[in-house]
Chains A and B, each alone.
Chain A
C-alpha cells in the first residue's frame, strides 16, 4: 500500500542518512586516530595507551561539567595545553627510557601504561558509567529528511581542521621538517645536530594533546568509564594501518573507509557483522598493501 508508494524517496532518504552517519562516525574515528598516527609516524612507537588518554580526556570533560558546569566546547580549549603537559610528563617518565629499545619492549611498556591508567581511573573515580549532558547534547540539524547530530558535526569539523593543521605544521614549519627528518633517519638526524629526544618529546606531547581533545569532544556522545578507551582504540589501529601508519590524510581517509564498512555492514547484514567486515579489510590491506593505502614506504619493514 502506501509503503510501496514511498519506496523510492524513502530509500533515497535512508541512503542519504547512511551517508551522513558514515561521515560523522568517520569524523570521530579520525579525531581519535590522528594522534596515534602522528606518534607512530615520527617515533615508530605504537602507543597502546592511546585509548586511555582518550578516556582521561573524557573524564576531564565529565569533571569540568559535573563540578563547574563548564561546557565541553570550552573544556576542549583548556584540554589541549593540559594534555600537552600530560604527554610531556608521560614521555619523560615512561617513553624516554624505551625509545631506543626493541619494538617488543615498547609494546610491553605502552600496554603497561594502558593498564596502569585504566586502574588509576578505576581507583580514583570508580567503575561507574558517567555522562556529560550539556544543553546541546541532543541538538540535531535537519536538512530535508537527513539528520545531523550537532556534537558529531563539531567533532567532524575539528577532526578535519586538526588534520589539516598537523599536515601543514609538518610540511611548512621548521619543527615539522625536523620531525620528518628524524622519522626518516634517526641517526642521520642526530648527526645533523638535531636533538631527537626533543623531537620525540614534542611529537608525543602533540599526539596526546590531540587525543585528549578528542576525548573531551566525544564525552557527550558516549558513557565515561575507566575502560571507555578500549571501545575506540581497536578501530583506531585498523584506521591507521589502512591509511598507512604515519600518514595523517591517510588516517582521515582510513577513518571514513572503516566508518563506511561499519555503517553499510550494519545496515545490510546486521551489526554483528561489522567487525568481520572491517577486519577482513584490515587483513586484505596487510596482505596486499602492507604500507597501507597511503602509507610511507618502509613502514612495513618495522615489524610492528
Chain B
C-alpha cells in the first residue's frame, strides 16, 4: 500500500514525459491505418518499382515517427506486386477485397495505372496515383481517381519551356529559328510527352519541326538508319523520349556516326533520366538533359518554410537508408504519400466524398512540399502543371544534376551547344 502513491506518481510522470516527447513530433499514435500500394516489383519495370516502394516506405516511417501518422493512427502499407496490367488488376482486387483497404496508391508506370485505377473505382476505393503520367489517366470519368504528379503533356510543356527560354538564348537563336527533331519510343508516355511538346513548340514558339519518329524500344536493335537520316536534316535540338536500351543505343551510335547537334532533351526517369544511362556510358553521357524531380544542386532555401522542413527531413531519411541523394522514384512516391497524409489529416475520414472535399479545398503555392511542389487539384483529380514545378537535370561527369530553373539551383547547365564528342569533359 505504501508503494501505491509513488507508483501513481511515477506513472503520471512517465505518461507526461511520453506525451511531451510525442507532442514535439505530433500526437502519439493509436491504432493502425492501412492503405494499399501497387508497384511493379518484378519484370522489366522492377528497378523503378522497387525504388518507388522504397520511397513510400521511407515516407511512411517519417510520417509515423515524426509527423503524427495519418488521422492520428500509425500508417501501414499493404503491398502488391503488379509487373503488368493483368497482374496489377488482380492485385488491386486483392488489396480492395482481402486486405480491405479504402485507398490504393502506386503504380509508377503508365502501363499499370490505368488498369489499377479501373479496378479501384469498381470497388469504390480511392485511387491516389503518385507517378504514372498517362494523359488518359483521369480523362475516363472514373470517380475518386487522383494524381499528384503532372501528366505526360505537362512534361512536354516544361521541355519546350526549357528549350525556348533557356536553350534558345544560350544558342543565340530566337525560338522560331530553332530546328527540332522529335524521336520517341511509342508508349502512351512517349507519345503524350512528344505530342504536347510538338504542339507547344509549333503553336506558341513557331519552332521548326524537322522530323517525327516513333519506334518500339523492345525490338530496336540498330539506330544507325535513323541517325543517318537525322544527320542529313541537321537539327539544333533532338527531343528524344527514350525508355531503356534505346537511349544508350542512340547516344552510342550517334557518337560512332559523329552526329553533331546542339542539345538533347528528354523527360522522365526512364532512358536518359535513369541511372542506368550514366552507368552504361560514364562521362560519355555528359551534356544530356532530362526533365525530372530536383537532384543535386537543388536549393532548399528556394522553398517555403513548410516545404523546406519536409524536403529536408525526407532527403535525410533517404540518405540514411540508401546512402544516396533521393532518386526521382523516391521523390514521386514520397511526395505523393505526404500529400495523401495532408488530405487525410484534413478530411479525418476515408469516406470518398469527405476525402474529395478535402482534396478540392487544398491550395498550396509552389515551394510548399517535397520537390518544391505546390498543390491545386482540378475537378478530375489532376494536380496543376504550374503548381507541380519540374526541373531540368543534366548529366555532368556521371551524375544527373539540377540546372534549371536557375533560381532553384546552385549548378549551371554546361556544353551548350554540345560541341565535338571528345570535347565534353
Contact = CB atoms under 8 A, between A and B. Distances in A.
A286 B163 CA distance: 49
B179 to A, nearest CB: 13
A138 B256 contact: yes
Contacts of A109: none
Nearest to B234: A3
B276 to A, nearest CB: 5
Contacts of B47: 126-129
Majority-rule SS of B interface residues: helix
Interface in B190-220: 213-216, 218-220
Interface residues of A, number: 37
B5 to A, nearest CB: 61
B168 interface: no
A289 interface: no
A129 B47 CA distance: 8
22 contacts: A10-B232, A14-B232, A17-B224, A18-B224, A21-B228, A25-B221, A122-B42, A126-B46, A129-B245, A129-B274, A133-B282, A138-B256, A223-B248, A231-B221, A235-B219, A264-B225, A266-B226, A271-B215, A271-B223, A271-B225, A272-B186, A275-B216
Contact of A230 (B218, B225, B279, B282): B218
Given A138-B255, A231-B245, A270-B215, 18 more contacts: A17-B224, A17-B228, A21-B222, A28-B221, A122-B43, A126-B46, A126-B47, A127-B43, A127-B44, A131-B279, A133-B282, A223-B248, A262-B221, A266-B225, A267-B226, A271-B214, A271-B220, A272-B214
Nearest to A29: B221
A225 B245 CA distance: 10
Given A21-B224, A234-B219, A271 B213 contact: yes
Contacts of B244: 129, 223
A239 B225 CA distance: 20
Contacts of A232: 221
A227 interface: yes
A63 interface: no
A74 interface: no
Contacts of A12: none
Contact of A231 (B213, B219, B224, B255): B219
A231 B216 CA distance: 11
B257 A17 contact: yes
Of the four ranges (under 10, 10 to 19, 20 to 34, 35 or more), the interface on chain B belongs to 35 or more
Contacts of B226: 266-267, 271
A108 interface: no
Interface of B: 42-47, 186, 213-216, 218-226, 228-229, 232, 244-245, 248-249, 252-253, 255-258, 274, 276, 279-280, 282, 284
B245 A222 contact: yes
Given A122-B42, A149-B256, A223 B224 contact: no
A92 interface: no
Contacts of A122: 42-43, 46
A168 interface: no
A252 interface: no
Contacts of A127: 42-47
Contacts of A140: 256
B87 to A, nearest CB: 13
B233 to A, nearest CB: 10
Contact of B284 (A138, A223, A267): A138
